Amino acid sequence: MAINKTNANFVNISNLPQTQQAVDTDLIILQTENGTRTITFENFNVVRTDAAGNATVLGNLTGNDAILDNALFYQSVSSVSFSSQGRLGDNKANGFYNRFTINGGLVTSATYITNSSPDYINITKTFLPNLTGWTNTIYKVFIDDLVSVTIPNGQNNTTGQFDNVFTRFPDVDVNNLLGYVTVAGQGSTTERISSFPWVGSLVNDGFGNLDFRVYLGYNTPRDVNLLIRLNYPLKPTEYPF
């Protein structure tokens, strides 16, 4: 304190001792409309920081922008929308998506593609053909049909038909079936045959059926029932699947 020419006391605040941190009970001088007043630091409406620069906000924090040099740690974050690197996060209904755009950890685009998907192409063009080719070297797919025909009394041959053979397997050539249509045995009959029957005259009837004729070699005195079997191993190019 010093005495000036007007005989007034004055104090230069630069000469006062300094404190390292303000506490709730410390007083701050304010010039208000009602004159000079004091207020405790507890009631001073500013964001408080400690000596290390850390701040704690007890109520709600409202503003236009927040810029953080490091990370944000919070128990719950909610917003009408989120953006990353200038792109708004994508809103999608519950569904299946296989192509995403991610900006700074935020999904900003999600779509579903089929025929041009790399996974789809890889599976259909590489894995499945290779798997099918490998299994075809181990397993065979057969046409295995059985029909019953009757050579009438006094006759030595008759005709028969395997239904829908070429409807089910349109890539099969009728000429490839010769030797795969055989007599499987006799059906219900009392007539004992004395020759070995054989099958010939294989024809694609144009309606998807395989027609054939069975020969006995002699005229039988009674009806003779025979079982005729088509047992043909399909080639890979003839598979209908």
What pLDDT, on a 0 to 100 scale, did the predictor assign at position 184? 92
Higher pLDDT, 190 or 26: 26
DSSP-derived secondary structure letter, 218: S
- Within a 10 A sphere around the Cβ of 149, how many other Cβ atoms? 21
Q: What value does the mean pLDDT take over residues 81-100?
A: 85
What pLDDT, on a 0 to 100 scale, did the predictor assign at position 212? 97
- Measured distance CA(155)–CA(216) in Å, rounded: 9
User: Could you tell me the pLDDT band of residue 214, with boundaries at 50, 70 and 90?
Assistant: very high
Cα three-residue angle 91-92-98, rounded to 5 degrees? 120
Domain regions of the chain by residue span: 19-48, 83-116, 142-238
* Mean pLDDT computed over every residue of the chain: 85
Strand ranges for the chain from DSSP E: 2-3, 9-10, 27-32, 35-40, 48-49, 55-56, 83-84, 87-88, 99-103, 106-111, 142-151, 157-162, 181-186, 198-204, 210-215, 224-233
Q: What value does the mean pLDDT take over residues 152-175?
A: 95
pLDDT higher than 80, residue 11: no
139-152 residue pLDDT tens: 778 999 999 999 99
User: Could you tell me the pLDDT band of residue 13, with boundaries at 50, 70 and 90?
Assistant: confident
